[in-house]
């Protein structure tokens, strides 16, 4: 029996939670010896039902993870635990944990002081006890190993992917040409320079810039608010459903990814899966993930970024080439393969043959749990 820490089901869906959700859904299809446990207060109900999640304990958040979950594990013989978000029970040793990146170290301006203190305190404790660590790229593997002096041989890369819902489709009708950006409003996402670059474009008065993300956070930045107010073509769309987001990808002339730092970066892959050409920053893990399928620019050079925008808007053969290369690039990643890597690491730690479905299910444990969805 293996226990999966499904606390992510009680959180807002972002990149880290998407990784955990999709990996778990695929992992459930590979193994019959896994059980998913979470606090009460589920937000992702459909996924929780598919995973047959058991709600345990009385607390929520970090308290649940540090108190209720370890107590549950101890009562059931300290089985192997798999935690797929960036936090985990700090003092539980029989565990595979996950850490996506060290953005909070490289770009502290994107986070509150409390957040940085929490992660800088908790992460070394977790790393000192776990059996193995998962991360999403070779870039992040090197960053984590270097900063925390953690052995690379204990870090295993399990990349992100894109769900099958993201596919090419017909462009939106009666829509002007637009460039698309999708991200959170964090400082390292580099929206300010992207907007400045867009404002440098000449001869494209009918082209818009659509920005998808947490609008309240974006407009709390006085500089972004000032920049955006200078041109009505810049449209902040806020948070969208997946269906709405897919429509934006399908209708965009190109997708812009200006981030200064990413452990992986799912949005460019989503854009490519929808047939949208991508221009991206040549920074951090982005070239590792996109390889030769994107048009790159220096994210610190506004003029260079503007030149890339100009080129993508005027060069139809380039857009067509990037579209083909992007669709090919996406095929390098799948949630099924990522789940298989997790499953193989589980079997290695348990000294079992890889990819073997066990005959011993977690029925007894289900009967003993305090609540079941």
Do 117 and 14 fall within a single domain?
yes
Query: Rounded to an integer, what distance in angstroms lies between the CA atom of residue 119 and that of residue 216?
Result: 24
Is 171 within a domain?
Answer: no
Do 250 and 263 fall within a single domain?
yes
- What tens digit of pLDDT does each residue of 250-259 get? 999 999 999 9
What mean pLDDT value characterizes the chain?
91
Do 91 and 29 fall within a single domain?
yes
Is 56 within a domain?
Answer: yes
Q: Is the pTM of this model over 0.85?
A: yes
Do 352 and 213 fall within a single domain?
no
Query: Rounded to an integer, what distance in angstroms lies between the CA atom of residue 151 and that of residue 328?
Result: 33
Q: What is the DSSP string of 49-63?
A: HHHTPEE-SS--HHH
Is 267 within a domain?
Answer: yes
Is 166 within a domain?
Answer: no
Do 309 and 291 fall within a single domain?
yes
- What tens digit of pLDDT does each residue of 136-177 get? 999 999 999 999 999 999 999 999 999 999 999 986 667 889
Are 269 and 246 within 8 A, CB to CB? no
CATH number assigned to the domain comprising residue 246: 3.40.50.2000
Do 20 and 132 fall within a single domain?
yes
Do 264 and 347 fall within a single domain?
no
DSSP type of residue 323:
H
Is 215 within a domain?
Answer: yes
How far, CA to CA in Å, does 250 sit from each of 96, 149, 239?
37, 43, 17
Do 252 and 269 fall within a single domain?
yes
Contacts of 150 (CB under 8 A, 6+ apart): 127, 133, 144
Are 206 and 236 within 8 A, CB to CB? no
Is 152 within a domain?
Answer: yes
- What tens digit of pLDDT does each residue of 57-81 get? 999 999 999 999 999 999 999 999 9
Do 126 and 85 fall within a single domain?
yes
Domain that holds residue 324: 178-330
- What tens digit of pLDDT does each residue of 162-220 get? 999 999 998 666 788 999 999 887 899 999 999 999 999 999 999 999 999 864 444 34
Do 147 and 296 fall within a single domain?
no
Number of domains in the chain: 2
| Least confident stretch, 104-113, 323-332, 364-373 | 364-373
Do 261 and 341 fall within a single domain?
no
Do 228 and 106 fall within a single domain?
no
């Amino acid at each position: 029996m293996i226990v999966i820490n499904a606390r992510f089901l009680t959180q807002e869906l972002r990149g880290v939670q998407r990784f955990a959700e999709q990996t778990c859904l695929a992992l459930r299809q590979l193994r019959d010896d896994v059980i998913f446990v979470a606090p009460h207060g589920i937000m992702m109900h459909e996924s929780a039902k598919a995973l047959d999640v058991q709600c345990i304990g009385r607390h929520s958040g970090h308290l649940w993870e540090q108190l209720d979950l370890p107590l549950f594990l101890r009562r059931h013989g300290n089985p192997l635990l798999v935690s797929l978000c960036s936090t985990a029970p700090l003092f539980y040793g029989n565990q595979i944990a996950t850490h996506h990146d060290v953005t909070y170290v490289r770009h502290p301006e994107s986070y509150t002081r409390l957040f940085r203190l929490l992660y800088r305190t908790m992460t070394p404790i977790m790393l000192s006890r776990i059996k193995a660590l998962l991360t999403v790229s070779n870039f992040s593997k090197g960053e984590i190993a270097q900063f925390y002096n953690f052995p690379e041989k204990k870090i295993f890369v399990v990349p992100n992917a894109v769900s099958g819902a993201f596919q090419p489709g017909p462009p939106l009708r009666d829509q002007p040409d637009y460039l698309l950006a999708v991200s959170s409003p964090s400082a390292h996402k580099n929206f300010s320079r992207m907007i400045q670059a867009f404002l440098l474009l000449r001869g494209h008065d009918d082209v818009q810039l659509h920005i998808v993300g947490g609008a309240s956070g974006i407009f709390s930045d006085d500089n972004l608010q000032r920049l955006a107010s200078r041109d009505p073509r810049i449209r902040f769309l806020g948070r969208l459903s997946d269906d709405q987001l897919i429509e934006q990808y399908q209708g965009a002339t190109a997708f812009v990814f200006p981030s200064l730092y990413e452990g992986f970066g799912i949005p460019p892959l989503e854009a490519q899966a929808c047939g949208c050409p991508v221009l991206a920053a040549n920074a951090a893990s982005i070239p590792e993930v996109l390889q030769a399928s994107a048009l790159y620019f220096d994210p610190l050079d506004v003029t260079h970024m503007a030149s890339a925008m100009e080129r993508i808007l005027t060069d139809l053969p380039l857009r067509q080439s990037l579209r083909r290369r992007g669709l090919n690039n996406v095929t390098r990643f799948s949630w099924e393969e990522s789940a298989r890597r997790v499953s193989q690491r589980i079997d290695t730690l348990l000294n079992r043959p890889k990819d073997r479905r066990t005959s011993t299910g977690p029925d007894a444990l289900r009967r003993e749990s305090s609540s079941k969805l």
